[in-house]
Each structure stands twice: as C-alpha cells, then as structure tokens.
Amino acid sequence: GAGVSQTPSNKVTEKGKYVELRCDPISGHTALYWYRQSLGQGPEFLIYFQGTGAADDSGLPNDRFFAVRPEGSVSTLKIQRTERGDSAVYLCASSYRGRETQYFGPGTRLLVL
Amino acid sequence: QKEVEQNSGPLSVPEGAIASLNCTYSDRGSQSFFWYRQYSGKSPELIMFIYSNGDKEDGRFTAQLNKASQYVSLLIRDSQPSDSATYLCAVNKPSFGSSGGSYIPTFGRGTSLIVHP
C-alpha cells in the first residue's frame, strides 16, 4: 500500500475486555514500531520488530500487552484485561531497515470505559 | 529528568515571523535527532532529521544541533498559519537487545505552535 494502515481507527471497549489492534506497514519495510500516545504527550515507545522477531520490547508496560508479527509484515498488538488507563492513541510506524525514517500510520484511538 | 524535554507552549508568533522551537536531551549516546509535526487528531509526520553538529536547512526549516550542550532546535522562517501544529522532537538511541544497530526514538511531549494572521 501507499502508507502504513491501522485498523480499527477507533475502538471502544469495557474494562476487563481483550482487544487487538492491527498494523499493516509499508510494503518492504522490515522494521515496525508500536507507540502509545496520551493526550498532551509525545508518542511512547512500546515494541520494535525487525522482521518477525521482537527486537526490543522494553517499552511494553506490563504482561497484559503483547504483540506479534508472524510473517514479517502485518503486526497485531494485543491487550488483555484492559484498564481505563490503557485509553490512548496507539500508533504504528514502519521503516526500511530500522535506521531510517519512520512513517506513521493514522493510529487507533482506544477508549476503555 | 526526562530524556527529551520540550516546552509545551503554546508558542505564538505572527505570520511571517521566525518560530524557534527548542529541545534538550539527556543521553549523550544519542545518535540522531528528528523533528516531527503533528496536526491535531493526526499522526506525526517527519519534517527533518540531523546527525551532525551545526545547521541543516530544508526550505523554510532549519535544524540546529549542539551535541556538547545536548540541544537541538528547529527554526521555521516566514511562518504561515498552516504551520500551526505540535512539533515533536525525537532522539534516537541504540536499541536494547538489538544486534543489528537499530535505533529507538524517544519523543518529547511536543511544543504547540500557533501562527496567527
């Protein structure tokens, strides 16, 4: 595709539920990043994939958060037992080799009631 | 101390003026520095990056880097109302656990710029 796409664009869920957020990177980009952005803050790094493997997951806040990228392209961020504090915009970005410019998707706005 | 610090603003400048946005960082191992623009409700988009000390110009934008002072700035000349947005400074550090030399950006909270006609 022309750019990074993310689905859904908005997600409303109830506390305690499980959610999955999807990211489809730019074709050919080997590096994929997940960020979380709260209102009035900059993006906060969560996890970085190089190919299929998670090269750096040091930003995941706790074990309720997990992400996969089984075929080295599409990635899914999974959040178990959601909490109200998980409400934020979840951004995905991709880059060609991990050293280069990152291109952001439009984000998924998650609201946990 | 936060890793990347920016004044949240808002910074208000008249149309046609120079807007100066500043950012400091704490990790001397930081390798590269990025400025992103983010319109309200949209995702960040890269304006420019800089790796070496000194100035780098691209159209109306100039990035300035001073590694000794751990300071990076963005100047916007001839500011336009369409430049009104939040400007995010991002600093790349080597990725923990990576053997491939990749980098993870740490973002500041952003500075809100308002250019009024």
Helix (H, G, I), strand (E, B) or coil at B82: helix
Q: How far apart are alpha carbons A59 and A93 in whole angstroms?
A: 15
Q: Chain A closest CA to B109's CA: distance in Å? A: 4
Which residue in the set A42, A45, A55 is minimally distant from B102, CB to CB?
A55
Query: Which residues of chain A lie closer than 8 angstroms to B97, CB-CB?
Result: 55-56, 58
Q: What percent of chain A has pLDDT over 70?
A: 96
List pLDDT tens digits, range A75-110: 999 999 999 999 999 999 999 876 668 899 999 999
Q: Are strands B111-116 and B11-14 parallel, antiparallel or unpaired?
A: parallel
Shortest distance between the Cα of B104 and any Cα of chain A, in A, equals 8
| Cβ-defined contact of A45 to B105 (cutoff 8 Å) | yes
Summary count for chain B: helices (H), strands (E): 0, 11
Contact A45 B98 (CB under 8 A): no
Chain A environment of B46 (Cβ under 8 Å): 101-103
The pLDDT, as a whole number, for residue A98 is: 62
**Mean per-residue pLDDT over chain A, rounded:** 94
**Are A42 and B110 in contact (CB < 8 Å)?**
yes
Residues in chain A: 113
> Contact at 8 Å (CB) between A9 and A105?
no
| Res B30: pLDDT | 86
Contact call for B95 and A45, based on CB within 8 A: no
pLDDT single digits (tens) B93-102: 777 655 555 6
A63-67: average pLDDT: 97
Measure in Å the smallest separation between the Cα of B66 and chain A Cα atoms.
21
Q: Name residue B93's beta-bridge partners.
A: B104
Q: What percent of chain A has pLDDT over 90?
A: 83
Please state, in angstroms and rounded to a whole number, the distance separating the CA atoms of residues B32 and B50: 6
Read off the amino acid at residue A46. Answer: L
> What is the band of B82 on the pLDDT scale with cuts at 50, 70, 90?
very high
Average pLDDT over residues B72-92: 97
**pLDDT over 60 (residue A1):** no
Amino acid sitting at position B4: V
3-state SS class at A76: strand
Q: Higher model confidence: residue A98 or residue B91? A: B91
CB-closest option in B96, B100, B109 to A50: B100
State the pLDDT confidence band at A41, using cuts at 50, 70 and 90.
Answer: very high
Query: Which residues of chain B make contact with A43, given a CB cutoff of 8 A?
Result: 44, 88, 107
A91 touches chain B (CB under 8 A): yes
